[in-house]
């Protein structure tokens, strides 16, 4: 009886949610749970950018943007619930910010004909657009990140990593395991020794891993962490006096939240990135004027300009560009979910375009095609300056090792195609 009452009540509510005729985007955010510290700035940046579009430009191409937000708590079951509750409202693109949820949604979005953009996370082999027709991971993916980190080490060592010891400390999940294959292949190519150290969710307990690092004395440590794991790892590295400039995180392990708890000792910590840092771009003036000062900032409004805020903003910017492209292709301002996929496939980001939107030099130039959903895979290295309290880029956006990565992507995507009876094609 209770069940029936509840279900009846839920039915009434679902029916009551309004139908909208605007461009709908969905932010699958996590502002609660063990990963909230990282989820909040991203969600804020994502929301603020769309608020800016609505306030300043009146939406995209004259169509207002309706941003739905759904809390996943980084939990796959809630992620599915969010997806199901928002897909019928015409969401144009999903950006779940969780590799676990991405894996869940890949088959679902493909069956439902909706685009998904996993910027710098998710399934790396989705770069092969002929197999993963609805999933995009431009401008860079995990394997690019691993390769850019190794390239940086190669540069530091004058082009030779032979005999060096590299340790990977990773979140023991699908996310953390992603770079292992690439790092192994690269280790065969460059001749370094790789050791793997897994940290279980949520990552507060890392004493034994760092004890091992202290014992084995690797030359470099690469980190694939998220949430509280990052802060703990950096603190532990400080505790064993591991030289910070030899410690490189992936882009998900390189935000202010991660380095600040360790104080001055975190000075020199590095992370890979695929977009620029700081708030020294014209667009931030507009955000201040139209969003923050107008009292419309998402969340507490205190995250503007932080690394993950910028990433959320960049994700929203790329969605905006794809939507404009889709409007241009279809000749229709009110684009459909299928149009959006075509827009993403034809996406081209150039410096003049970024200049025009107040984001000069914010990210690399790249273009997407039906075969290549991942762009060129450019990445840069950023370093933390604890004195000034800010990140700065210490390299330009440089390409990853395409030779190694493309072969791995081909292999993995073909395995997926065979498993799921997909005939690759564009």
Partner 1 sequence: MFYREAGDFKTTYTDDNQTFPIKFDRYRYYAVLFFAFLIVPFVINDYWVNAVFMPFLIYAIAAIGLNILVGYCGQVSLGTGGFMAVGAYAVYKLMTGFPEVSIFIHILLAGGVTAMVGVAFGLPSLRIKGFYLAVATLAAQFFLVWLFNKVPWFYNYSASGQISAPERTVLGIAVTGPNTSAWATYLFCLVFVTICAIIARNLTRGTTGRKWMAIRDMDIAAEIIGVDPLKSKLSAFAVSSFFIGVSGALFFSVYLGAVEVGEAFGINKSFLVLFMIIIGGLGSIFGSFAGAAFLVLLPVLLKNVLVGMLGWPTDLAAHLEFMIVGALIIIFLIAEPHGLAQLWRVAKEKLRLWPFPH
Q: What SS3 state is found at 378?
A: strand
- Give least dist CB 113 to partner 1, A: 11
> Within a 13 Å sphere around the CA of 193, how many CA atoms are in the beta-carbon half?
8
**Strand 378-385 to 270-273 pairing:** antiparallel
- Give least dist CB 164 to partner 1, A: 24
CB 28 within 8 A of CB 97: yes
- Choose between 7 and 332: whose C-beta lies nearer to partner 1: 7
- Choose between 32 and 367: whose C-beta lies nearer to partner 1: 32
- Give least dist CB 29 to partner 1, A: 7
- Residue 29 makes CB contacts below 8 A (sequence gap 6+) with 39, 40, 42, 43, 46, 69, 70, 71, 72, 97
- Choose between 84 and 328: whose C-beta lies nearer to partner 1: 84
d(CA 311, CA 38) in angstroms, rounded, equals: 11
- Give least dist CB 201 to partner 1, A: 5
- Choose between 203 and 218: whose C-beta lies nearer to partner 1: 203
- Give least dist CB 163 to partner 1, A: 27
d(CA 137, CA 128) in angstroms, rounded, equals: 10
- Choose between 18 and 163: whose C-beta lies nearer to partner 1: 18
- Choose between 175 and 290: whose C-beta lies nearer to partner 1: 175
Three-state SS string across 379-421, please? EEEEEEECCCCEEEECCCCEECCHHHHHHHHHHHHHHHHHHCC
- Choose between 75 and 235: whose C-beta lies nearer to partner 1: 75
> CA dist 133 to 5, 83, 105, 344, Å?
41, 18, 13, 11
Four-CA torsion 371, 373, 376, 379, nearest 10 degrees: -160
- Give least dist CB 33 to partner 1, A: 8
CA 265 to the chain's CA centroid: 27
| Contact positions vs partner 1 (CB under 8 A) | 2-3, 6-7, 9-11, 13-14, 16-17, 29, 31-32, 36, 40, 69-71, 73, 75-77, 80-81, 84-85, 87-88, 99-100, 103-104, 106-108, 110-111, 123, 172-175, 177-178, 180-181, 198, 200-201, 299, 412, 419-421
Backbone torsion region of residue 330, taken as left when φ is above 0, otherwise alpha when ψ lies between -120 and 50, otherwise beta = alpha
d(CA 221, CA 232) in angstroms, rounded, equals: 14
- Residue 386 makes CB contacts below 8 A (sequence gap 6+) with 259, 263, 264, 265, 266, 267, 268
- Give least dist CB 230 to partner 1, A: 18
- Choose between 246 and 413: whose C-beta lies nearer to partner 1: 413
- Give least dist CB 251 to partner 1, A: 18
CB 138 within 8 A of CB 375: yes
Q: Look up residue 179 and give its two tokens.
A: 């770079």
In sequence order, what DSSP letters do the residues of 103-117 get, joined into one string? Answer: HHHHHHHHHHT-EEE
- Choose between 170 and 269: whose C-beta lies nearer to partner 1: 170
- Give least dist CB 22 to partner 1, A: 16
- Give least dist CB 123 to partner 1, A: 7
- Choose between 178 and 390: whose C-beta lies nearer to partner 1: 178
Picking from 170, 182, 184, the residue whose alpha carbon sits closest to that of residue 223 is 170
């Amino acid at each position: 009886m209770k069940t029936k009452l509840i279900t009846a009540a839920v039915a009434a509510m679902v029916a009551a949610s309004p139908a909208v005729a605007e461009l709908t985007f969905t932010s699958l955010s996590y502002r609660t749970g063990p990963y909230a510290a990282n989820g909040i700035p991203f969600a804020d940046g994502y929301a603020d950018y769309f608020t800016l579009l609505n306030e300043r430009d009146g939406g995209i191409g004259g169509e207002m943007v309706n941003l739905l937000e759904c809390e996943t708590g980084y939990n796959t079951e809630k992620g599915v619930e969010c997806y199901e509750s928002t897909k019928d409202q015409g969401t144009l693109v999903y950006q779940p910010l969780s590799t676990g949820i991405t894996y869940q949604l890949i088959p679902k979005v493909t069956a439902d004909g909706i685009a998904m953009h996993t910027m710098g996370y998710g399934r790396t082999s989705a770069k092969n657009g002929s197999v993963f027709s609805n999933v995009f991971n431009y401008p860079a993916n995990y394997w690019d990140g691993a390769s850019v980190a190794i390239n940086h080490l190669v540069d530091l060592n004058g082009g030779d990593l032979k005999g060096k010891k590299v340790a990977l400390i990773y979140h023991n999940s699908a996310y953390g395991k992603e770079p292992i294959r690439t790092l192994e292949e690269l280790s065969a190519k460059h001749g370094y020794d790789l050791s793997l150290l897994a940290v279980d969710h949520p990552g507060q307990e890392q004493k034994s891993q760092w004890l091992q690092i202290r014992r084995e004395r690797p030359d470099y440590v690469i980190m694939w962490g998220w949430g509280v794991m990052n802060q703990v790892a950096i603190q532990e590295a400080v505790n064993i006096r591991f030289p910070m400039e030899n410690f490189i995180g992936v882009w998900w392990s390189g935000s202010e939240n991660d380095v600040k708890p360790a104080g001055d000792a975190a000075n020199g910590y590095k992370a890979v990135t695929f977009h620029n840092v700081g708030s020294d771009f014209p667009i931030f003036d507009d955000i201040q004027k139209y969003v923050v000062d107008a009292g419309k900032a998402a969340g507490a409004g205190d995250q503007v300009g932080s690394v993950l805020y910028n990433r959320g903003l960049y994700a929203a910017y790329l969605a905006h560009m794809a939507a404009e492209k889709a409007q241009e292709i279809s000749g229709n301002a009110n684009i459909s979910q299928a149009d959006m996929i075509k827009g993403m496939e034809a996406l081209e980001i150039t410096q003049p375009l970024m200049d025009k939107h107040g984001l000069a030099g914010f990210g690399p130039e790249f273009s997407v095609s039906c075969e290549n959903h991942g762009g060129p895979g450019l990445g840069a290295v950023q370093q933390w300056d604890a004195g000034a309290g800010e990140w700065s880029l210490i390299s330009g956006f440089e390409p990853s090792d395409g030779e190694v990565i493309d072969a791995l992507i081909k292999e993995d995507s073909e395995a997926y195609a065979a498993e799921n009876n997909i005939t690759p094609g564009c």
